[in-house]
Amino acid sequence: MLRWIRDGGQTSEFEGVALVHLDLLYRAALRLTHNRAEAEDLVQETWLRALRHFDQFDPGSNCRAWLLTILRNAFLNRLRREGREILESDMTATEAGAARLEEASVARSSPEEDFFQTVLHGDVDRAMKTLPLPFRLVVTLADLEGLTYKEIAQVLDCPIGTVMSRLSRARQLLRKELVTLAREHGYSEESR
Amino acid sequence: MNCREFDARLHAFVDGELDAGPMADAEAHVSTCPDCHGRANGERRFRQLLRRQPKEAVPPEFRARMLALARRERSRKKVRIWLGAPALAAAVLLLAFVLMARALSTGGHEPEMVGNLVDKHLAYAQLEAPAEFHSTERPAVAAWFRQRTGLRVTVPDLSPAGIQLVGARIAEAEQRKVAYLFYEKGHVLMSVFMVPEVGRRAPLAGRPMSSGGHEYLAQERQGLRTVSWRDGETLFSLVSTLGYDDLLECADQLRAERDRETRL
């Protein structure tokens, strides 16, 4: 109903609906690109696409998931253009590799909770950077930005089951990396 | 639910993503199994650690640009709607003439450029740490620009005027990379912009002023003072609430150092 009551027209509604998600888009873009200029560029491209296709946006649906979907597609297009494409088969291989790793060492291991104390400022950023792109994206959306599985499934254009498996593997990898960093800071399991 | 079944649902459980039935089963299991209870807690704390990460916001300048884009798109859409209605074509033409006449009377786009730079100054002055590269070392700042943009940027020594270098950033205005230096006198910010110019160069607007044998153009905008000039292919602009005496002294110093660098 709101869109008919406002007299500013469609674009003013775009600002009203989309501007609150600008920070989120920027942070997601930073996690994808690791580069401020590139992130701004990516967000700007997303913003323009969203503006131009705003008539296709269903006002009753989820705006942040819609915007993030555009952002992800724009980013994947860039990779493709630059020949850095992440092929679905690579991704499957990465996930299989991660699954093996998980089975071998992490699954049902004792909780390494204490290492949380030694995680330093910047460690999470550093650890995130080591994650392969699909894992980085899913952790960013779920744990850093608090999206629901359903929203993430929309953004990644995949079934919720895939979100769940990818997310649990991504967290295992991230945790493992953080433990490694914590060890570098002198945390040792003997000291617990 | 046994441990194995719980394991498969651990993440969904901690994320609160289980349906009511499985959620109740999982809670029942956790309450009787210390091992799974411990792991659920571990996952929760891990989640909290991630949620606690600092949340970065977009730079104010960038936010303003996105707003402007949205507004521009709106006016484009309006024009498209008009073009679709033949009866209004004449009105569109008339509007185009009015806009052109206005553009000519304000001397093209350069006054907009100074306005644009003033907006940047205002946006960054609100930040605690506006610089992208913090340094009080002039050679370090010049090297940073060279590395990042290939631009030769003169970073003047304004300390004789009691004005200290704070840092720098690369900004963008009208699709051009702009070198942006931050200086500070006490708690007053002064922005020094260097805009490389190619092609169209509309005349600069402003009141003529002269200092140290140089000519400048001064403009007041939004309560700020600006001093601008051109040198070769570059537009220079100083923006601050500082007085014209300070601004002109800084401008003279910048020009002197620039001349010296060019001669070398």
CB-CB under 8 Å, A167 with B38: no
Query: Alpha-carbon distance B98 to B191, whole Å?
Result: 34
Buried b (16+ CB within 10 A) or exposed e, B28-64: ebbeebeebeebbebbeebbebbeeeeeeebbbbbbe
**pTM: predicted TM-score of the whole model, two decimal places:** 0.55
**Is the predicted ipTM greater than 0.90, yes or no?**
no
Which residue of chain A has the CA closest to B63? A22
Answer yes or no: is pLDDT of A142 > 90.
yes
Answer yes or no: is pLDDT of B93 > 90.
no
What is the reported pLDDT for A99?
A: 55
Least confident of A171-175, B101-105, B244-248: B101-105
Residue A115 C-alpha, separation from nearest chain B C-alpha, in angstroms: 10
pLDDT digits (tens, 9 = 90+) for A23-38: 999 999 999 999 899 9
Q: A166, A153 in Cβ contact below 8 A?
A: no
Answer yes or no: is pLDDT of A21 > 80.
yes
What is the reported pLDDT for B120?
A: 85
As a whole number, the mean pLDDT across chain A is 79
Closest Cβ–Cβ partner in B17, B67, B74 for A9: B74
Which residue of chain A has the CA closest to B45? A113
Residue B105 C-alpha, separation from nearest chain A C-alpha, in angstroms: 30
CB-CB under 8 Å, B46 with A26: no
Residue B54 C-alpha, separation from nearest chain A C-alpha, in angstroms: 9
Is residue B124 classed as helix, strand or coil in its secondary structure? Answer: helix
Give the count of beta carbons closer than 10 Å to the beta carbon of residue A64.
20
Structural domains in chain A?
2-81 (1.10.1740.10), 88-191 (1.10.10.10)
Answer yes or no: is pLDDT of B75 > 80.
no
- With an 8 Å Cβ cutoff, the interface of chain A facing chain B consists of 9-12, 14-15, 18-19, 22-23, 26-27, 30, 36-37, 40, 43-44, 47-48, 51-52, 108, 111-113, 116, 119, 124-125, 139, 142-144, 146, 148-149, 164, 167-168, 171, 175
Q: B130, B165 in Cβ contact below 8 A?
A: no
Q: Which whole-number Å values give the CA distances from A73 to A90, A170, B42, B194, in the listed order?
A: 18, 21, 34, 36
CB-CB under 8 Å, A48 with B50: no
Strands (E) across chain B are located at 133-134, 164-173, 176-185, 188-196, 207-211, 214-221, 224-231, 234-240
Q: What is the mean pLDDT of residues B76-99?
A: 52
Q: Which whole-number Å values give the CA distances from B172 to A126, B194, B213, in the listed order?
A: 29, 11, 31
pLDDT digits (tens, 9 = 90+) for B106-155: 444 445 788 888 888 887 776 767 888 999 999 999 999 988 887 789 99
- With an 8 Å Cβ cutoff, the interface of chain B facing chain A consists of 7, 10-12, 15, 17, 38-39, 41-43, 45-47, 49-51, 53, 55-59, 62-63, 65-67, 69-71, 73-74, 77-78, 132, 170
CB-CB under 8 Å, B38 with A149: no
Chain A positions touching B41 (Cβ under 8 A) are: 111, 113
CB-CB under 8 Å, A27 with B47: no
Residue A87 C-alpha, separation from nearest chain B C-alpha, in angstroms: 27
User: A with B: how many residue pairs have Cβ under 8 Å apart?
Assistant: 92
